[in-house]
Amino acid sequence: MYRSGAVMAWNVFRFCTALRGLGSIMILLVLGVVGVTYYAVVLTNYGPSLASSVGFLDVLIALSVLVLFHCLLVMLLWCYFSVVFTDPGSVPPNWRPELDEERGETDPLTTSEFGASPADSGNPRIRFCRKCNQLKPPRCHHCSVCGRCVLKMDHHCVWVVNCVGALNYKYFLLFLFYTFLETTVVTLSLLPQFIAFFSDGEIPGTPGTLATTFLAFVLNLAFALSVLGFLIMHISLVSGNTTTIEAYEKKTSPKWRYDLGRKRNFEQVFGLDKRYWFIPAYSEEDLRRIPALHGLEYPSKPDLDAQE
């Protein structure tokens, strides 16, 4: 029995290591879906409507679809590559928690977590990663795919070829949001053509363009439904200041210590400046104030109240 467990763990590790080689493939797959969709919506269906002698209403609909499609596509790609190329957050070498001697804090390596009593040693926050051979801060987890510890790690996403953590979680959520909007717009815009496939009338276009339109509709419908489920799940996680990894721990805890209320939980991810909420960027003030983005300590409610 012990040998079977060891073999299973070894196989899982090899599987995680193999995921590193999927990077360029997954990015090309995403760009391929975008390319098929662009060809079906812009070059095959709604683009020609602007140059043809159709009615004013048809031209207005085509123009509206194209403008909305391109705006959402720009935001989708911006958010996607922001997640891909943004470091999710790593632990500084030889990191140790800072101590405030004036407040009478002692070395957490000899006691327990921040603000806890020495007797409360059953749930320490200061942990040691045996794979990285260093201390790891609260809410930090080791990623077997990336081979390092990630701050406030949510999960490793093969679609973005990167871990989703403290520094790019907002970008990931925006990517899901704009992907859902884009795929929904494409699905609705191609729905008349999809219905026409099953009608008795003659459908304009070559077999190749018809097949591309059919494929784009099916792909975008599938992505819209699947992304909606992920989006709903992550909205619930943000509202409780929880990550995917921490979801089970939160269920077993009588009171989640990181829950600051829905408003502050949202601000920890998206920042305080509303102008930056819907773009993959932060203001300078937010970069200084949001602990999950640049720091390794997570203040409690009284600390936040003192700042405000």
Residue 25 has what pLDDT? 85
Residue 224 has what pLDDT? 97
Residue 284 has what pLDDT? 83
Which among 290, 289, 241 has a CA at the least distance from the CA of 261? 241
Percent of the chain with pLDDT over 70: 74
At residue 103 the predicted structure's pLDDT band, cuts being 50, 70 and 90, is very low
pLDDT for 228 beyond 50: yes
Residue 304 has what pLDDT? 41
Residue 119 has what pLDDT? 32
**Is-above-0.75 flag for pTM?**
yes
Which among 282, 283, 288 has a CA at the least distance from the CA of 307? 288
User: Where do the domains of the chain lie?
Assistant: 7-91+124-308
Residue 114 has what pLDDT? 33
- Rounded CA separation 31/42 (Å): 16
> Which range, of 90-99, 123-132, 250-259, 287-296, averages the lowest pLDDT?
287-296
- Rounded CA separation 178/4 (Å): 44
At residue 208 the predicted structure's pLDDT band, cuts being 50, 70 and 90, is confident
The average pLDDT across 82-102 equals 75
pLDDT for 306 beyond 80: no
At residue 17 the predicted structure's pLDDT band, cuts being 50, 70 and 90, is low
The average pLDDT across 149-160 equals 90
pLDDT for 264 beyond 70: yes
Residue 230 has what pLDDT? 94
Residue 20 has what pLDDT? 60
User: Looking at 140, 143, 157, 163, which residue is catalytic?
Assistant: 157
The average pLDDT across 217-245 equals 95
Please, what is the average pLDDT of the chain? Answer: 78
Residue 9 has what pLDDT? 40
pLDDT for 7 beyond 90: no
Of residues 184 and 157, more confidence is placed in 184
pLDDT for 163 beyond 50: yes
Q: Is 157 noted as a catalytic residue in this protein?
A: yes
At residue 85 the predicted structure's pLDDT band, cuts being 50, 70 and 90, is very high
Residue 181 has what pLDDT? 98
Residue 154 has what pLDDT? 93
At residue 131 the predicted structure's pLDDT band, cuts being 50, 70 and 90, is confident
